[in-house]
């Protein structure tokens, strides 16, 4: 099997089970994705040409993956591959950015154990590698469309909210013109101050819409919920000075990945809201739990909480309990619409010990 850089790759197959060799080489060669068979010690035993094009293949699969991947993102490949061989559980890695001297690709890598037909013992593993670079762009566009749809759902109220300060600005500009024409020069200062307040309100609304409309975490197209939460915490830590954030992973093993970038934005907004409510020293506990049917992500802060009668209203556009100028009330409304796109729900209650609890529920099926 020749590699794309011209070198020859000759794996040693002398001590490997015949299970892989029962598959016709022509079948492996015709597959539209890379296939790598590896021994229990992770040595590469067989690979088709597409695998050699996608990966910088060496003697061992773990080092082949590590040489082009970001270890800070994907961790120790040896441990991940060893776990598949030891437990017999399939592992999937989505949107792996893999760099080679001539290209950078996004790969979906599925690692599955290989068992002997005669003894049912694990004799190694198979790595299936798919180039999803183009498909990932489609996923980005779909995610962007979902985000814009959530924003569009509140567009009518947004237009009305922008129209109010715009009418005021026009009115005060006209009053300023008349005052200047009548040489009443002290009045325009007050009128222009009102104009400025209206414009700042519009800027905040537009800014919040833009924050939700653009992608913020393109490397999380599909990821476990724990990873999405962790990345959101990392992103928001600089804006949460004085807030002690703890992530409590109470989730039993659930093999479910979510389109991460939209959820990333939802979690970032909930963390930001908690930090704003705490206003200084306090804590935010994020607990991930769930069942086979539903995952729950709970955000419990030590802020002042909210009035019980506001439990439903806080998810309405432009409803806010924040001080004047501190928020527009759009964030939670858009979060609710995004969560509903996942066929989930978001709820808010006051904590009996103080503070508020926001919980995102996501179905796993």
Residue 169 counted as domain residue? yes
CA pair distance 182, 191, nearest whole angstrom: 15
pLDDT on residue 25: 54
177 with 198, same domain: the answer is yes
- The dihedrals phi and psi of 316, each to the nearest 5 degrees, come to -85, 145
CA pair distance 27, 140, nearest whole angstrom: 33
Of 190, 213, 236, the residue that ends a domain is 213
33 with 149, same domain: the answer is no
187 with 229, same domain: the answer is no
61 with 82, same domain: the answer is yes
Of 131, 165, 200, the residue that ends a domain is 131
209 with 314, same domain: the answer is no
pLDDT on residue 6: 33
pLDDT on residue 207: 66
pTM metric for this prediction: 0.48
Residue 63 counted as domain residue? yes
84 with 152, same domain: the answer is no
pLDDT on residue 284: 93
118 with 144, same domain: the answer is no
Residue 165 counted as domain residue? yes
189 with 90, same domain: the answer is no
Residue 220 counted as domain residue? no
Residue 354 counted as domain residue? yes
300 with 267, same domain: the answer is yes
Q: Which CATH number is 163's domain given?
A: 1.10.287
Per-position pLDDT tens, the chain of length 365: 333 333 334 444 444 444 444 444 555 565 678 888 899 999 998 888 888 888 988 899 999 998 887 666 566 789 889 989 998 888 888 778 888 877 788 888 899 888 877 777 888 888 999 888 765 555 555 555 555 555 555 555 566 567 667 878 888 888 889 889 888 888 888 888 888 888 877 776 676 666 555 545 545 567 889 988 988 898 888 888 889 999 998 887 777 888 767 788 889 889 988 988 887 788 999 999 988 889 999 999 998 888 776 666 777 765 565 555 455 557 788 888 888 888 899 998 888 778 899 999 999 87
Q: Which CATH number is 321's domain given?
A: 3.30.565.10
Is residue 314 within 8 A of residue 277, CB to CB? The reply is: no
113 with 167, same domain: the answer is no
Residue 323 counted as domain residue? yes
Of 131, 161, 193, the residue that ends a domain is 131
What is the count of structural domains for the chain? 3
Residue 185 counted as domain residue? yes
Is residue 327 within 8 A of residue 205, CB to CB? The reply is: no
The residues, any chain, with a CB within 8 Å of residue 167's CB and separated by 6 or more, are none
Residue 110 belongs to domain spanning? 20-131
pLDDT on residue 22: 47
Q: Which CATH number is 99's domain given?
A: 3.30.450.20
């Amino acid at each position: 099997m020749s590699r794309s850089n011209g070198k020859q790759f000759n794996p040693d197959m002398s001590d490997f089970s015949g299970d892989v060799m029962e598959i016709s080489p022509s079948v492996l060669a015709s597959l539209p994705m890379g296939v790598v068979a590896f021994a229990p010690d992770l040595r590469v035993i067989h690979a088709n040409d597409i695998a050699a094009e996608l990966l910088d293949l060496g003697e061992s699969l773990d080092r082949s993956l590590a040489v082009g991947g970001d270890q800070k993102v994907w961790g120790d490949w040896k441990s991940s591959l060893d776990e598949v061989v030891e437990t017999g559980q399939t592992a999937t890695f989505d949107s792996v950015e893999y760099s080679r001297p001539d290209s950078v690709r996004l790969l979906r890598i599925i690692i599955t154990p290989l068992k002997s037909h005669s003894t049912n013992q694990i004799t190694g593993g198979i790595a299936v590698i798919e180039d999803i670079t183009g498909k990932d762009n489609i996923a980005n566009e779909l995610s962007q469309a979902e985000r814009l749809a959530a924003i569009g759902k509140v567009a009518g109220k947004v237009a009305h909210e922008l129209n109010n300060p715009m009418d005021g600005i026009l009115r005060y500009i006209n009053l300023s013109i008349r005052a200047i024409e009548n040489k009443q020069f002290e009045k325009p200062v007050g009128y222009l101050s009102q104009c400025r307040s209206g414009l700042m309100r519009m800027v905040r609304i537009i800014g919040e819409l833009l924050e939700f409309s653009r992608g913020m975490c393109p490397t999380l197209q599909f990821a476990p919920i724990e990873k999405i939460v962790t990345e959101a915490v990392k992103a928001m830590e600089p804006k949460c000075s004085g807030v002690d954030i703890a992530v409590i992973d109470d989730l039993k093993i659930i093999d479910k990945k979510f389109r991460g970038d939209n959820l990333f934005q939802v979690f970032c907004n909930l963390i930001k809201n908690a930090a704003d409510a705490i206003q200084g020293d306090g804590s935010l506990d994020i607990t991930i739990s769930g069942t086979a049917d539903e995952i729950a992500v709970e955000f419990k802060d030590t802020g002042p909480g909210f009035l019980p009668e506001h439990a439903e209203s806080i998810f309405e556009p432009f409803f806010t309990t924040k001080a004047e100028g501190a928020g527009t009330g759009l964030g939670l409304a858009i979060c609710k619409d995004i969560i509903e796109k996942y066929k989930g729900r978001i709820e808010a209650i006051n904590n009996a010990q103080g503070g508020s609890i926001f919980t995102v529920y996501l179905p796993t099926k």
